[in-house]
Amino acid sequence: MQTVILAAGQGTRMRPLTERRAKPMLPVADRPLSAHTAKTAVDAGASRLIIVVGYESDAVCEFFGDEFAGVPVEYAEQTEQRGTADAVRAAESHLDDGPFAVLNGDALYDEPSLTRLYEQAPAVGSYRVADPTQYGVLYTAESDGDTRVTGVVEKPADPPSNRINTGAYVFPAEAQAWLEVGESERGELELTDVLERACEESTVAAVPFERWLDVGRPWELLEANEWKVGELTRTLRGEVHEDADIRGDVVVEAGATIDAGVVIEGPALVRRGATVGPNAYIRGHTVVGNDAKVGHSVEVKNSVLMAGATVGHLSYVGDSVLGRDVNFGAGTTVANLRHDDEAVKTLVKGELTSTGRRKFGVVCGDDAKTAIQTSLNAGVKLDCDATTTPGEVVLRDKSE
């Protein structure tokens, strides 16, 4: 199955993490987000990949090259982000005359469900959620025990069901001629208009996905890492001190160093060139990225430290995402829990938004730096290159 992966967007809801990189290249466990999408597609039956690139495209092309997971890779450029139908139209010249799949490069799909999607073409992936008002919701009908899609409505106030569109499609070959769509109410060229046409012209199966995650905001990047780090199996290839205590499914890559007195409770991943300790504590689906440093008596819980990030001694980091080359001074403390036990809120495109998480810490853009004894409140963002002063208490964002 020829598969188009959409990876051109800027990911503004993920700022400041996407200020200097494409959202599909954000790290999830041991590879970029879009690489998980691509690998799942190949395992499900993709015969070749056409990746639509745009924002920070060089990094995407450099990572995937001409071949990925044994299948050829081609690239199409979306020069202006005008919507999903426009993105697929950019890839049209790379498609042959057969059916084609379309996947979002910033979403995670489980392989068995994606395999069923490919097998039941034409089809669209569906997923049940508690609150469908923030998604595209599918209209469906039952026929001989099968569920088919009859239409889709975007973010309805009164949803027809809780079955939402996962952004995973397999279209018939003739759908290539349907990509010339008009602008939606949002001013975009929407692939859902192509889905509506497919529903009119043929029977489109609604394939339920067992697991799916749209990774659009920083706390969803944490959730993505919880998913993929949770799939790792214990592998210790780096240098682990005899006095370190490694518990459960922990991966220490070759070139990483775990010093004396360190306790790591899996699942966790320590990447090449990283150093941990002495006397540090790592737990809860944590990723310590390439060449990152976790110092003396530091605790890191359920967090992502991107490449080159440093957490100085006597610090605490919980439920947080630290960008490349972030440097936390000694004694930096992250708050990750509200006293009223309500979900932590954070700014997304200038609007205070609930993360839906009882525990959520901070998000730091690349090269942000804290001085000694800095305290960061739950939900705070530090923009790229942001700094604090010694003893500063940061209650609101230094971003946006």
* Contact indicator for 13, 348 with CB cutoff of 8 Å: yes
Separation of first and last alpha carbons in the chain? 42
Q: Which of 241, 285, 313, 339 is catalytic?
A: 313
* Contact indicator for 235, 366 with CB cutoff of 8 Å: no
Q: Which long-range contacts (CB under 8 A, 24 or more apart) does 232-241 make?
A: 232/29, 232/30, 232/266, 232/267, 232/269, 234/266, 238/270, 238/272, 241/277, 241/278
Block residue for tokens 């070139």: 255
Based on the residue annotation, tell me whether 313 is a catalytic residue of this protein: yes
Cα 360 to Cα 144, 182, 188, 325, 342: the distances in Å are 46, 40, 33, 21, 11
169 Cβ contact list (under 8 Å, min separation 6) = 101, 102, 103, 122, 123, 124, 125, 191, 195
* Contact indicator for 167, 212 with CB cutoff of 8 Å: no
Q: Which phi and psi angles does 187 have, rounded to 5°?
A: 80, 25
Q: Classify burial at 115, counting beta carbons within 10 Å of its beta carbon; exposed 0-12, middle 13-18, buried 19 or more.
A: middle
- Amino acid present at 300: V
Catalytic residues: 313
